[in-house]
């Protein structure tokens, strides 16, 4: 049966006869790739637009509707050397893009208004001490009002809305003092202007908004960017299923287009994308991503299969029970929800600071007002001074202090192969004192590896490797990988559940189960010395060989564990796999605390126990069974090979074959939190100096504006130091 | 000081032109891919979208 790929689910109709498709592309790193892809796609007939987005690593393609097959575009990209997959942005990402755009628009308006109001304010400041006529000053003040009032009404929306929501919920956030300060300052300035006073505060109010919006934008932009790249990676993992559209015709479709009740085909070596029950066929299922158990489970008609499991030997027809929500997934997502709710109690550093900050600012301003009134000043002067206090303490630097560090740290971590899912993850990683690792797929590489390669003659390995290329079996893939085989042998026959055979130099060669290759004695001998390996036998005439295959530890795992210890972090292993396998890994890594055969609920229980003891726990895992414990831990990390649900639950996702990103995440986070504290210190230090001046009634708008920008710039410069963390791992 | 009558509106007009330009470019999606834009500026003979390169 010939499989056709059906991506029509992703194609958007643009109207006027144009079709549009967004593709996530792997490996786009430079300008060269950009031109190569754009030219390569534009050269295809009927393609009207091909544009690469280098920031998000995506390509937008448009063509005359019906003239181009989307699968052909993906093949064309493959010819050019790029792996691509249709991309559909998730709703959260779309909302984030819109939010970022809105913030940028607000920032543009506020920056425009600041520049123009400043242009009018400087002549007033200098004119007040020289020769400016009162009429001219009033004219300038009115002009400032004309610019600043509508600009603030528009650009202040993010703060006003948030403050309003907080007040309605009877709580106070940082946006409340900001909103009160801005509104009061503008209102007072209008009154002052009407009364022909010397000073107005339009410049201070609008400049404050500009700086705060810059901080918000930085924060938002960091999240948007990592979410976009993480979304790409999820799409590139290409979760598709082969669906029967009729009893005879199969078609490869994205999982999103599969419904309960559909019949799908699951071939050997394929990872299952849905939950369902087997209708026809016999095979073995590798459930290691679900349970952590590496031994295979037999499957036949009636057996339940779950998304994330790997079909090993035979072809199965599966009736879909659920493509995205199902029995096992339901259970796990229920645990996940509970765990996530428990974690939302975490308070971010910025929120903690502002929780203290808001009452202090309000109290100081109020006391200034009352104090001056009692001291005999008139209400007008007392109010003006109180507003100056409110403005000068407004958390300009505070608003920038944390987002600026987060953005810089997220960029640095991204270059080190770590993607952040949430901004406050940095603070939570920095607090970690215990790391719990899952074994399968996390400490070990997700793919299998031949361990007795050196004991087998090169010629045999090479031949076995070429045979192995004909099979999808993961153990065969390990043999092909070990041999570095590139050329498949012609006329290979696959016997389901047993192995592959073909004729080489006139003699039959076989690769498969020991029984299939008459190598049972050798296999028994090998298993007696090392019970943890999987075996695959090879036979060519009289030559017999048995390959031992096992999941290999990530190369730098031992080093990373040792380095983590040096930093005062305790390391534990919690695995669903059998005891001997876990013991072996723990010994190799020098980890004393480990448990084997643990189910998801027991994993959560252990993490809760550690948390009760006052530890900050980071969970690193990849399987479906890890997802709830990932959410239960204070902070969590997943390799990019993890199941979809685990990645969604993880705060950080790391790329590549090494474990070192875990160490780098810790180092960068610790440095970043150090910088955040310094920045908060700077912001507070600035207030300690500036507030008494304002209370004393000595702060002219010029001084307030200069001090405010000075402190903001200082905070940004300090944040830039987070680019390197001095990690040598 | 009569000159202010011309200069102030002129300055504001320039400011508005800048703001309008910014909003226009934002709506046009010119801030969607800043990394790519940096490279496009120095890439030579970029084909205009949809146009086939001669000889390809």
* Whether A410 contacts A222, CB under 8 Å: yes
- Name the CA radius of gyration of chain B, rounded: 19
Cα separation, A453 vs A494, whole angstroms: 24
Q: How confident is the model at residue B55, as a pLDDT?
A: 37
Residue B28 in contact with partner chain A when CB distance is under 8 A: no
Active site residue: A22, A438, A577, A622, which one?
A: A438
Q: How confident is the model at residue A335, as a pLDDT?
A: 60
Cα separation, A415 vs A639, whole angstroms: 15
- Name the CA radius of gyration of chain A, rounded: 32
Q: What is the DSSP string of A338-394?
A: HHHHHHTT---HHHHHHHHHHHHHHHHHHHHHHHHHHTT--HHHHHHHHHHHHHHHS
- The answer to whether A219 is a known catalytic residue is no
Q: How confident is the model at residue B54, as a pLDDT?
A: 41
Cα separation, A721 vs A445, whole angstroms: 34
Mean pLDDT of all residues in B25-42? 82
Of residues A114 and B2, which shows the higher confidence score?
A: A114
Residue B19 in contact with partner chain A when CB distance is under 8 A: yes
Residue B47 in contact with partner chain A when CB distance is under 8 A: yes
Q: How confident is the model at residue A235, as a pLDDT?
A: 66
Q: What is the pLDDT of residues A621-652, one digit of tens each?
A: 887 778 788 888 889 998 877 776 677 778 88
Q: Cβ of B40 and A48 within 8 Å?
A: no
Q: Which residues, 6 or more positions from A335, have their beta carbon under 8 angstroms from its beta carbon?
A: A600, A601, A604, A627, A628, A631
Q: How confident is the model at residue B56, as a pLDDT?
A: 36
The first and second tokens of residue A129, run together, are: 């001490």
Mean pLDDT of all residues in A432-456? 84
* Whether A404 contacts A195, CB under 8 Å: no
Interhelix angle A202-236/A91-128, nearest 10 degrees: 160
Residue A109 in contact with partner chain B when CB distance is under 8 A: yes
Phi, then psi, of A641 in degrees rounded to 5 = -80, 0
pLDDT at A697 > cutoff 80: no
Q: How confident is the model at residue B52, as a pLDDT?
A: 43
* Residues of chain A contacting B46 with CB distance shorter than 8 Å: 35, 38
Q: What is the pLDDT of residues A2-25, one digit of tens each?
A: 566 777 777 888 778 888 888 888
What mean pLDDT value characterizes chain A? 81
Q: Which residue of A has its CA nearest to B50?
A: A48
Q: How confident is the model at residue A113, as a pLDDT?
A: 93
pLDDT at A596 > cutoff 60: yes
The first and second tokens of residue A156, run together, are: 């202040």
What b-and-e string marks burial along A496-514, b requiring 16 or more CB atoms within 10 Å of the CB?
ebebbbbeeeeeebbbbbb
Positive or negative, the CA dihedral A159, A164, A169, A175 is: positive
Q: What is the pLDDT of residues A375-432, one digit of tens each?
A: 887 887 788 788 777 777 766 666 777 778 887 888 788 778 888 877 678 888 998 9
**Distance from CA of residue A192 to its chain's centroid?**
50
Which strand ranges, in their side-by-side order, compose the sheet holding A543-553?
A444-450, A543-553, A534-540, A507-512, A499-504, A493-495
Run of H or E residues at A318? strand A316-322
What is residue A597's DSSP assignment?
A: S
Q: How confident is the model at residue A702, as a pLDDT?
A: 61
Helices then strands, counting H and E runs in chain B, come out as: 2, 0
Determine the 3-state secondary structure of A43 from DSSP.
Answer: coil
Q: How confident is the model at residue A310, as a pLDDT?
A: 81
Q: Which residues, 6 or more positions from A517, have their beta carbon under 8 angstroms from its beta carbon?
A: A499, A510, A511, A537, A538, A539, A544
Run of H or E residues at A100? helix A91-128
Q: Cβ of A35 and B26 within 8 Å?
A: no
* Whether A408 contacts A722, CB under 8 Å: yes
The first and second tokens of residue A467, run together, are: 């045979």
Cα separation, A598 vs A621, whole angstroms: 13
Residue A286 forms beta bridges with which residues?
Answer: A310
Q: Which of B26, B32, B45, B46 to mutate to test the interface with A (most CBs of A within 10 A)?
A: B32
Mean pLDDT of all residues in A674-691? 84
| pTM exceeds 0.90 | no
Q: Which residue has the tokens 């502002």?
A: A354
Q: What percent of chain A has pLDDT over 70?
A: 88
The 3 state secondary structure assigned to B20-40 is: HHHHHHHHCCCCCCHHHHHHH
* Residues of chain A contacting B29 with CB distance shorter than 8 Å: none
pLDDT at A325 > cutoff 70: no
Lowest mean pLDDT among A237-251, A293-307, A326-340: A326-340
Cα separation, A653 vs A642, whole angstroms: 9
Cα separation, A364 vs A353, whole angstroms: 16
Q: How far is CA A103 from CA A94, A535, B21, in A?
A: 14, 59, 17
Q: Chains A, B: CB contacts under 8 A, how many?
A: 76
Long-range pairs of A241-248 with CB within 8 A, sequence gap ≥ 24 = A241/A273, A241/A274, A241/A323, A242/A3, A242/A266, A242/A267, A242/A270, A244/A317, A248/A1
Lowest mean pLDDT among A113-122, A157-166, A239-248, A657-666: A239-248
* Residues of chain A contacting B44 with CB distance shorter than 8 Å: none
Residue A126 in contact with partner chain B when CB distance is under 8 A: no
Q: Which of A47, A55, A121 to mutate to test the interface with B (most CBs of B within 10 A)?
A: A55
Cα separation, A109 vs A695, whole angstroms: 31
Highest mean pLDDT among A516-530, A670-684, B33-47: A670-684
Residue A37 in contact with partner chain B when CB distance is under 8 A: no
Determine the 3-state secondary structure of A511 from DSSP.
Answer: strand
Q: Cβ of A51 and B49 within 8 Å?
A: yes
What b-and-e string marks burial along B13-47, b requiring 16 or more CB atoms within 10 Å of the CB?
eebeeebeebeeeeeeeebbbebbeebbeeeeeeb
With 0-12 / 13-18 / 19 or more C-beta atoms within 10 angstroms meaning exposed / middle / buried, residue A154 is middle
Cα separation, A37 vs A29, whole angstroms: 12
pLDDT at A568 > cutoff 80: yes
Mean pLDDT of all residues in A541-570? 87
- A455 pLDDT band, cuts 50/70/90, is confident
Closest by CA to A509, choosing from A465, A467, A547, A549, is A467
pLDDT at B9 > cutoff 70: yes
| ipTM, two decimals | 0.78
Q: How confident is the model at residue A334, as a pLDDT?
A: 60
What is residue B53's DSSP assignment?
A: P
pLDDT at B51 > cutoff 80: no
Closest by CA to A417, choosing from A729, A723, A656, A725, is A656
Q: How confident is the model at residue A727, as a pLDDT?
A: 46
**Distance from CA of residue A493 to its chain's centroid?**
43
Measured between alpha carbons, how far apart are the two ends of chain B, in Å?
65
- A694 pLDDT band, cuts 50/70/90, is confident
Residue B39 in contact with partner chain A when CB distance is under 8 A: yes
- A434 pLDDT band, cuts 50/70/90, is very high
Cα separation, A22 vs A19, whole angstroms: 10
Q: What is the DSSP string of A173-224?
A: -THHHHHHHHHHHHHHHHHHHHTT-S---HHHHHHHHHHHHHHHHHHHHHHH
- B37 pLDDT band, cuts 50/70/90, is confident
What mean pLDDT value characterizes chain B? 76
Q: How confident is the model at residue A729, as a pLDDT?
A: 40
Q: What is the pLDDT of residues A573-584, one digit of tens each?
A: 998 888 888 888
* Residues of chain B contacting A53 with CB distance shorter than 8 Å: 32-33, 36
Residue B9 in contact with partner chain A when CB distance is under 8 A: no
Q: Cβ of B47 and A47 within 8 Å?
A: no
Closest by CA to A306, choosing from A335, A282, A285, A334, is A285
pLDDT at A570 > cutoff 90: yes
Q: Cβ of B26 and A101 within 8 Å?
A: yes
Phi, then psi, of A574 in degrees rounded to 5 = -125, 115
Q: What is the pLDDT of residues A151-170, one digit of tens each?
A: 999 999 999 998 899 889 88
Q: How confident is the model at residue A613, as a pLDDT?
A: 92
Cα separation, A433 vs B44, whole angstroms: 52
Cα separation, B19 vs B32, whole angstroms: 18
């Amino acid at each position: 049966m010939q499989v056709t790929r059906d991506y029509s689910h992703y194609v958007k109709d643009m109207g006027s006869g144009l079709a549009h498709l967004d593709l996530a592309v792997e490996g786009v790193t430079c300008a060269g790739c950009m031109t190569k892809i754009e030219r390569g796609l534009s050269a295809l007939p009927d393609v009207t637009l091909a544009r690469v987005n280098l920031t998000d690593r995506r390509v937008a393609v448009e063509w005359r509707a019906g003239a181009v097959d989307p699968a052909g575009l993906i093949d064309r990209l493959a010819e050019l050397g790029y792996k691509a997959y249709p991309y559909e942005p998730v709703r959260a990402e779309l909302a984030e893009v819109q939010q970022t755009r809105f913030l940028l628009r607000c920032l543009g308006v506020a920056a425009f208004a600041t520049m123009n109001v400043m242009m009018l304010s400087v002549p007033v400041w200098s004119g007040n001490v020289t020769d400016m006529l009162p009429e001219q000053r009033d004219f300038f003040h009115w002009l400032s009002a004309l610019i600043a009032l509508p600009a603030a009404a528009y650009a202040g929306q993010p703060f006003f809305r948030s403050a309003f929501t907080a007040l309605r919920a009877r709580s106070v956030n940082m946006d409340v003092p900001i909103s009160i300060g801005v509104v009061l300052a503008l209102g007072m300035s209008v009154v002052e202007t009407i009364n022909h006073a010397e000073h107005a505060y339009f410049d201070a109010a609008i400049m404050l908004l500009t700086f705060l919006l810059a901080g918000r934008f930085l924060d938002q932009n960091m999240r948007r960017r990592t979410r976009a790249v993480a979304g790409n990676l999820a799409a590139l993992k290409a979760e598709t299923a082969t669906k029967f559209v009729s009893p005879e015709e199969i078609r490869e479709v994205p999982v999103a287009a599969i419904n309960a009740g559909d019949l799908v085909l699951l071939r050997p070596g394929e990872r299952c994308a849905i939950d369902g029950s087997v209708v026809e066929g016999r095979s073995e299922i590798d459930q290691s991503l679900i349970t952590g158990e590496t031994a295979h489970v037999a499957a036949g008609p009636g057996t339940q299969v779950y998304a994330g499991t790997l079909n090993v030997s035979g072809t199965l027809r599966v009736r879909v029970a659920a493509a995205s929500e199902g029995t096992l997934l339901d259970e796990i997502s229920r645990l996940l929800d509970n765990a996530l709710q428990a974690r939302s109690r975490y308070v971010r550093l910025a929120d903690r600071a502002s929780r203290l900050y808001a009452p202090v600012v309000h109290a100081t301003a109020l006391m200034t007002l009352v104090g001056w009134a009692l001291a005999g000043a008139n209400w007008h002067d007392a109010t003006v001074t109180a507003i100056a206090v409110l403005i000068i303490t407004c958390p300009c630097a505070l608003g920038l202090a944390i987002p600026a560090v987060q953005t810089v740290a997220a960029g640095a971590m991204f270059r080190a192969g770590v993607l952040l899912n949430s901004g406050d993850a940095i603070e939570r990683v920095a607090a970690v004192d215990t790391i719990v690792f899952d074994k399968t797929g996390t400490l070990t590489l997700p793919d299998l590896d031949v361990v007795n390669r050196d004991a087998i003659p090169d010629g045999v390995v090479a031949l076995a490797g070429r045979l192995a290329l004909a099979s999808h079996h993961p153990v065969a893939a390990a043999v092909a990988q070990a041999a570095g085989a590139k050329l498949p042998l012609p006329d290979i026959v696959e016997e389901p559940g047993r192995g592959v055979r073909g004729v080489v130099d006139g003699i039959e060669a076989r690769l498969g189960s020991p029984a299939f290759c008459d190598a049972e004695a050798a296999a028994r001998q090998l298993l007696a010395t090392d019970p943890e390996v999987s075996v695959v036998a090879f036979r060519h005439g009289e030559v017999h060989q048995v390959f031992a295959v096992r999941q290999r530890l990530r190369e730098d795992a031992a080093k990373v564990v040792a380095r983590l210890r040096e930093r005062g972090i305790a390391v534990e292993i919690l695995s669903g796999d059998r005891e001997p396998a876990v013991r072996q890994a723990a010994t190799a890594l020098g980890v004393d605390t480990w448990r084997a055969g643990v189910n998801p609920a027991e994993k959560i229980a252990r993490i809760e126990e550690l948390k009760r003891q006052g530890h900050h726990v980071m969970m690193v895992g990849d399987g479906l069974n890890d997802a709830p414990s990932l959410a239960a831990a204070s902070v969590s990390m997943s390799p990019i090979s993890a199941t979809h649900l685990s990645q969604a639950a993880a705060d950080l996702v790391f790329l590549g074959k090494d474990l070192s990103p875990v160490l780098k995440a810790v180092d960068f986070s610790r440095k970043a939190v150090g910088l955040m504290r310094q920045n908060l210190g700077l912001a507070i230090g600035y207030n300690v100096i500036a507030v008494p001046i304002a209370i004393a009634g000595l702060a002219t708008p010029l001084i307030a504006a200069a001090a405010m920008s000075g402190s903001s710039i200082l905070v940004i410069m300090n944040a830039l130091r987070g680019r390197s963390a001095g990690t040598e791992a | 000081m009569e000159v202010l009558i011309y200069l102030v509106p002129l300055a504001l007009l320039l400011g508005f032109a800048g703001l309008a330009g910014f909003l226009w470019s934002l709506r046009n999606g010119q801030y969607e891919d800043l990394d790519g834009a940096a490279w496009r500026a120095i890439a030579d003979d970029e084909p205009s979208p949809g146009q086939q390169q001669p000889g390809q």
